[in-house]
Chain A
Amino acid sequence: MMNNLVEIRGLTVDRGQRRVLDALDLTIEQGSVTGLLGPSGCGKSTLMRSLVGVQQLAGGSVRIAGVEAGSKELRPRIGYVTQAPSVYADLTVRENLTFFARVLGAGAASVDRALDRVDLPDQSDQVVGQLSGGQLSRASLAVALLGDPEVLVLDEPTVGLDPVLRRDLWALFHGLADAGAAVFVSSHVMDEADRCDRLLLMREGRIIADGSPARIREQTGTADVESAFLALVDAAAQGGAA
């Protein structure tokens, strides 16, 4: 009970005429890295937006530490990276971080720490608009690390990054989880699956598998998570046809 930092009950979201999430139940424990994997359009971002509390819900509830997601007292405790790098292109990296740190009430020291963590200290005085794609998404990630959030919701934070950097960032995510945070990372790249403590495979708004990467492979009798995903989809299709 204590460990379930996030509790999602019957989460239902409609976008336009389409039901994106339908009565989804999920709990996420403290101190772990949970990976949310699935093809684009499967509802990953919608689930993450619901966690942060910026998504309009058609039903159900999302509670973090017993409080409704998006409520005032939770907002300083959650770090959120949207899929598009949400930083100001006409400011330098440091100016961006300083601004968001002020909004959060985090000290100036947290700016330097966040810069170090995403390995951007050398680019700190560069205007964000001139950064490469990978540097840009790291700048956006750095904003989410300000103020030591208890829950990190990261929507595809490692897209387009150098493998070395990707490894370092996953190490960072685990470090934050070890320090007690719940880290929730989405990806559409299946090869990142093995880096998670717990894996959620998602397709068409439903979670089709939930467990450690090893367990999911074992259950489906496959060698890698991509094959496991395919096996699950095929099994579901046959089940539906039968």
Chain B
Amino acid sequence: MNVRILLAVSTRVLTQLRRDRRTAAMLLVLPCVLITLLWWMFRDLPGDLFDRFGPGLLAIFPFIVMFLVTSVTTLRERSSGTLERLLAMPMGKLDFLGGYALAFGVVATVQAVLAVSLSVGLLGLDVAGPVWLLGLVAVADAVLGTALGLFVSAFAQTEFQAVQFMPLFVIPQILLCGLFVPRDDLPTVLHAISSLLPLSYATDAMEALVASNATAEVWRDIGIVVAFAVAALAFGAATLRRRTP
């Protein structure tokens, strides 16, 4: 791993993003708009429904957005020939993936700060635990989305295919993560499956933070989410081939 090259990749990805105003705006504004929409839906209903669903969505949005953006951008890099050119240069696979992960990690941090500030500050989400930790969980989720997006981009030949990995990789995780049915109430088999999916731990962490200020479990969940992200990056690196047929 070469820090100079890794930072060069991150800087370049961020410059590209800065050029692409529309994508940048979507990345930062969209999660806020969707959270506000959720808050508005539940506004006139009895009970603290926003407190029940909000944390889960704070975990899910950064994950989805980063998954989509990353799977398409890296695929573009593969199909435009720039990846081949980079791999013919002194570019390590981990420099490349790490550079992407770092760049989108920075974006994810800004995104998380915005979404969490909005939820807690304006929309009145009650958080029992430390708010900054909520932000950290969101960043970990975004990094997870980035890593999975990098991973699946290896299996898509076109951007059209890449986008369709979302229903395969993302929607089952959303259904089983505990947002719709608490994980403990799921049928045994589904509960077991949900325990294998990283988004479940991300949602658990968010819900735990909102419910109490005990943080041990939250840290464990963050650790699991990060471990999944690292594994996805490692698999992603394995799919990058310097020599292609």
Contact = CB atoms under 8 A, between A and B. Distances in A.
Interface of A: 14-16, 52-57, 70, 72, 75-76, 78, 80, 82, 84-91, 95, 99-100, 102-105, 127, 143
B5 interface: yes
A90 B19 contact: yes
Given A82-B81, A84-B81, A86-B85, A99 B243 contact: no
B67 to A, nearest CB: 21
Interface in B70-96: 80-82, 84-91
Given A95-B12, A99-B12, A103-B91, A80 B85 contact: yes
A78 B82 contact: no
A133 to B, nearest CB: 15
Contacts of B88: 52-54, 70, 75, 78, 80
Given A102-B4, A103-B89, A87 B82 contact: yes
What size tier do the contact residues of chain B reach? 20 to 34
In the complex, the 3 A-B pairs of residues with the closest C-beta atoms, listed nearest first: A86-B81, A102-B8, A86-B85
B242 interface: yes
Interface string B1-30: 000110011011001100110000000000
Contacts, number: 79
A91 B80 contact: no
Contacts of B167: none
Interface string B188-209: 0000000000000000000000
Taking each of B82, B84, B245, which has the highest tally of chain A beta carbons within 10 Å of its own beta carbon? Answer: B82
A87 to B, nearest CB: 7
A141 B16 CA distance: 21
B82 A91 contact: no
A70 B242 contact: yes
Contacts of B20: 90
B216 to A, nearest CB: 42
Given A95-B12, A99-B12, A54 B89 contact: no
A14 B244 CA distance: 11
Nearest to B79: A84
A56 B16 contact: no
Given A54-B84, A104-B89, A88 B244 contact: no
A72 B89 CA distance: 9
17 contacts: A16-B245, A53-B242, A53-B243, A54-B84, A54-B87, A70-B242, A76-B89, A82-B84, A88-B12, A90-B16, A99-B8, A99-B11, A99-B12, A102-B4, A102-B5, A102-B8, A103-B90
Contacts of B243: 53-57, 70
Contacts of A88: 12, 16, 80, 82
B78 to A, nearest CB: 11
Contacts of A70: 88, 242-243
B193 to A, nearest CB: 37
Contacts of A102: 4-5, 8, 11
A107 B104 CA distance: 27
A55 B27 CA distance: 37
Contact of A95 (B15, B91, B245): B15
Given A53-B88, A86-B80, 9 more contacts: A55-B243, A55-B244, A56-B245, A75-B88, A99-B8, A102-B4, A103-B9, A103-B89, A105-B4
